Chains A and B, each alone.
Chain A
């Protein structure tokens, strides 16, 4: 589904990711964990096209998309639910959701997806005409997820979906993430909430200062490396 080969990504002149390679199989939940500033969000942005790597390639479904701009990649089936949610707070909940389907013209498909999303998050239907900025943190995360799903993605990337949420809300969000995956959508997850992420993933990458430090099945990786101590300083 996704193959990232040896990418270098810079913010201006500051390197954030170096020689990073990873791959995500179709139908998988893969997770990318690591300390703050390890380059996880940068990696997702490079896959999305919001940042263009200085070197290396991003292959999506076998096609080289390294230089394709973000707005075109949405149409190819890649979606990113960004860190901090980045919903449009001055737009209504419904307008936010509709923007997720901005590139689409299949009216029937859009309505189907909308019904599905309302099933996953009934609160989004109830609050349809409310300004998105007035939602609670958990509801905003649901909206960001819903907006991502409205683009009908095949690869959905989630950047810290648990950030700033109450533990009980996190559990709900993760249930939905698993349900989304069961519907056939491949997921690439970035998390600092390492336990939650490892539980639902089938493959894990551990990042450290811009590079992949180790990778493997979540339980193996957890055994092999004393992750908590080494990478999170706990």
Chain B
């Protein structure tokens, strides 16, 4: 059972899942950094992205690239809606009201989805090109796995460059450190918040496609565990750290795969429980996470 091939296969699977966790964690951590808000509703956006793809690709019959562009746009639009409808009103108030707003929005989106698509799971319409299986001596993979890894790495590289090199990116980091100081150097914080929501939500939109294609099945409540896992990834990497969120995502994916792979058969159903176990362990051993910084006052 513990052959090198098996280890390589499980590591590969872990990286594929980890890439998706990392993308969600990236968005959540950016929003946390700027608003000090644990954005629970973020997970719901992958449900919107996944069903959006179903609508554009399977129902409306649009070509694959068009459907992808549209779900990124749909994600961005959700970001605008969340920002304008919910958070613009709650920003500046007690942090707990933002938290409740976020939970409320998660519940709202999930129930809206349930109403629209019914509680039945749907088979995901993965394009044939991304559903091919290749077998090599050490590794069996589907083309969607390669798509997920390549796309998520591209997104992470672009995002890192954006945050490091552009004026808006630097303003985002400054606002994350101190909103008051940022305002006093002339940064329009409202705009920084809006742009963070738009970027994070657009990324969540395309992650919804990846999630659906990887699992092969989508349902109205798929965003819940996704959001929770992204949160665990953030804690592993260090709350508020962008590289930490990405690293945490990959670590979580690999840990999850290995724990499933090495547990006796029949225990695979505990997969999600193991995620929480990891969370508890991290909180006990290193609450600031791997790359976490202490709050600068």
Contacts and interface: CB of A to CB of B under 8 A. Distances in A.
Nearest to B293: A90
A86 interface: yes
A102 B167 contact: yes
A50 interface: yes
Interface stretch (B174-182, B202-210, B245-253): B174-182
B183 A50 contact: yes
A194 B57 CA distance: 72
Contacts of A70: 183-184, 186
A98 B170 contact: yes
A129 to B, nearest CB: 12
A87 to B, nearest CB: 8
B180 A50 contact: yes
Contacts of B187: 71, 99, 102
A99 B174 contact: yes
Contacts of A82: 181, 184
Interface residues of A, number: 24
Interface in A99-154: 99-100, 102-103, 133, 147, 151
Given A95-B170, A98-B170, A90 B185 contact: no
A86 B183 contact: no
A99 B171 contact: yes
B184 A88 contact: no
Closest 5 CB pairs of A and B: A74-B186, A86-B181, A103-B186, A102-B186, A70-B183
B174 A151 contact: no
Interface of B: 167, 170-171, 173-174, 177-178, 180-189, 293, 296
Contacts of B293: 90
A36 interface: no
Contacts of A90: 173, 177, 293, 296
A50 B171 CA distance: 18
A48 interface: yes
A82 B183 CA distance: 12
Contacts of B180: 50, 86
A232 interface: no
A228 interface: no
The listed residue with most A CB atoms (<10 A of its CB), out of B180, B186, B189, is B186
Contact of A86 (B173, B178, B186, B189): B178
Nearest to B168: A102
Nearest to A102: B186
A139 B73 CA distance: 45
A88 B177 contact: yes
B173 A88 contact: yes
A86 to B, nearest CB: 4
Given A50-B184, A86-B178, A71 B170 contact: no
Contacts of B167: 98, 102
Contacts of B188: 71
Nearest to B191: A71
A96 to B, nearest CB: 8
A56 interface: no
A134 to B, nearest CB: 12
Interface string A43-61: 0000010100000000000
B162 to A, nearest CB: 14
Contacts of B184: 48, 50, 70-71, 74, 80, 82, 86
A89 interface: yes
Contacts of A99: 170-171, 174, 182, 185, 187
Nearest to B174: A88
Nearest to B185: A99
B181 A88 contact: yes
Contacts of A48: 184
A80 to B, nearest CB: 5
- Residue among B178, B181, B185 with the most chain A CB within 10 A? B185
A91 interface: yes
A102 B185 contact: yes
10 contacts: A71-B184, A71-B188, A71-B189, A86-B180, A88-B174, A88-B182, A91-B170, A95-B174, A99-B170, A133-B296
